[in-house]
């Protein structure tokens, strides 16, 4: 017998793509649509979103009464209470009332969170942090950010800005960051920072197999560094291990602050996790307060890029409303506040 599941729409609003999925309470994807993001104007963004959700609903052919709401994961600065994207440079949006627009059009409840928080929620409900009360998701991509679940609640802060892990300093006189601080973690560990460091070192004459691409006139990216490292290039391996040690220093700060149980890493840079993750773990083991770090699981995401869209729908599977359904999955009930 098939158990009837509640469903929610998850929408991952990115600078180049909109990913929408209809996801069940047990994490099954009923239907999924990906579209390019039109960002010439607010109206075009709105049309892209409506078009994507409409297609999703047409494809899914489910009873609308089963859909609990629309959850949105967005980059940028958001106001989750007002359901407004305050500023998202990659989408060209400012004070964009996405919640009101969607609630009015679809007559469904809408929830909004930032993309790192969405991924944290997805890991909490369905991924590496399932059944845990204390979990931190860290994304290492062009920037570095975190979504923090502490004592069974998502930590948002006063203005939805909690989790700016990339802008915590690990060096008080370090590299100047655009945020105004010095020594921000992401200036040493983001995808952009890894490439910058590689170029700086190559310019000083350090030897690396990366030079064959530079001689060809190719612009080095993290993909080249990943290939070089996997082929045994000591320069690239050392660079990635150093990134791991710096991330490990930051992770120790998080564990010491939040006494967390699980740290999950995602983001494009984690495609090189075989070089980075062991160095993170070693640094945590070596320098963390023993009784706090000894049982912390440090893992790579198993949900990958789908964490954003899944966590967006998961906003409807973490609150009191889940109690009304007798078929509620007990493991997910344990996440209720
Ligand atoms: Zn900064």
Q: What is the pLDDT of residues 219-260, one digit of tens each?
A: 999 999 999 999 999 999 999 999 999 999 999 999 999 999
For residue 326, being part of any structural domain is answered with: yes
Residues 295 and 211 in one domain: yes
Say how many Å lie between the CA of residue 186 and the centre of ligand 1.
Answer: 7
- Alpha-carbon dihedral 164, 156, 306, 190, rounded to 10 degrees: 0
Q: What is the pTM of this model?
A: 0.90
Residues 166 and 271 in one domain: yes
For residue 173, being part of any structural domain is answered with: yes
For residue 2, being part of any structural domain is answered with: no
For residue 229, being part of any structural domain is answered with: yes
- By C-alpha distance, which of 214, 163, 219, 222 is closest to 190? 222
Q: How many domains does the chain have?
A: 2
Say how many Å lie between the CA of residue 167 and the centre of ligand 1.
Answer: 4
The sheet with strand 67-74 has its strands ordered as: 29-36, 17-24, 7-13, 67-74, 110-114
Say how many Å lie between the CA of residue 251 and the centre of ligand 1.
Answer: 17
Asked if residue 114 lies in contact with residue 87, where contact means CB atoms within 8 angstroms, the answer is no
For residue 43, being part of any structural domain is answered with: yes
Say how many Å lie between the CA of residue 184 and the centre of ligand 1.
Answer: 5
What is the rounded end-to-end Cα distance, in angstroms, of the chain? 31
Domain of residue 38: give its range. 7-118+305-333
Looking up residue 95, the CATH number of its domain turns out to be 3.30.420.40
Residues 86 and 22 in one domain: yes
Residues 165 and 91 in one domain: no
Residues 85 and 224 in one domain: no
Q: What is the pLDDT of residues 19-63, one digit of tens each?
A: 999 999 999 999 999 988 876 788 889 999 999 999 999 999 999
Residues 324 and 297 in one domain: no
* Mean pLDDT, the chain cut into blocks of 10 residues (337 residues total): 73 91 94 85 90 95 92 93 91 93 96 95 94 96 95 94 95 94 97 96 94 92 97 98 98 98 96 97 98 97 93 85 37 43
């Amino acid at each position: 017998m098939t158990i009837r599941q509640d469903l929610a729409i998850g929408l991952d609003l990115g600078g180049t793509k909109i990913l929408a999925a209809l996801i069940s309470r047990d994490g099954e994807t009923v239907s999924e649509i990906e579209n390019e993001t039109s960002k010439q104007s607010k109206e075009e963004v709105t049309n892209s979103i409506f078009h994507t959700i409409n297609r999703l609903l047409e494809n899914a052919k489910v009873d609308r009464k089963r859909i609990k709401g629309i959850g949105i994961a967005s980059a940028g600065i958001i106001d989750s209470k007002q359901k407004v994207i305050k500023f998202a440079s990659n989408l060209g949006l400012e004070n964009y009332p996405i919640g009101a627009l969607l609630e009015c059009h679809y007559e469904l409840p809408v929830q909004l969170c930032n993309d790192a928080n969405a991924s944290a929620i997805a890991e909490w409900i369905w991924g590496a942090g399932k059944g845990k009360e204390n979990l931190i998701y860290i994304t290492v991509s062009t920037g570095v950010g975190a979504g923090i679940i502490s004592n069974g609640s998502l930590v948002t802060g006063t203005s939805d800005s909690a989790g700016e892990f990339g802008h915590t300093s690990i060096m008080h006189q370090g590299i100047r960051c655009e945020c105004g601080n010095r020594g921000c973690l992401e200036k040493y560990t983001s995808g952009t920072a890894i490439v910058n460091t590689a170029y700086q070192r190559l310019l000083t004459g350090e030897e690396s197999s990366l030079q064959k691409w530079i001689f060809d006139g190719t612009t080095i990216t993290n993909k080249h560094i990943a290939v070089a490292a996997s082929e045994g290039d000591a320069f690239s391996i050392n660079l990635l291990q150093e990134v791991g040690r710096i991330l490990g220093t930051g992770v120790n700060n998080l564990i010491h602050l939040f006494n967390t149980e699980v740290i999950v890493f995602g983001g494009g840079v984690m495609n090189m996790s075989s070089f980075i993750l062991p160095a993170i773990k070693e640094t945590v083991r070596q320098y963390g307060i023993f009784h706090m770090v000894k049982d912390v699981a440090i893992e790579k995401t198993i949900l990958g890029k789908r964490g954003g869209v899944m966590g967006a729908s998961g906003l409807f599977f973490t609150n009191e409303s889940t109690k009304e359904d007798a078929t509620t999955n007990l493991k997910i009930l344990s996440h209720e506040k």
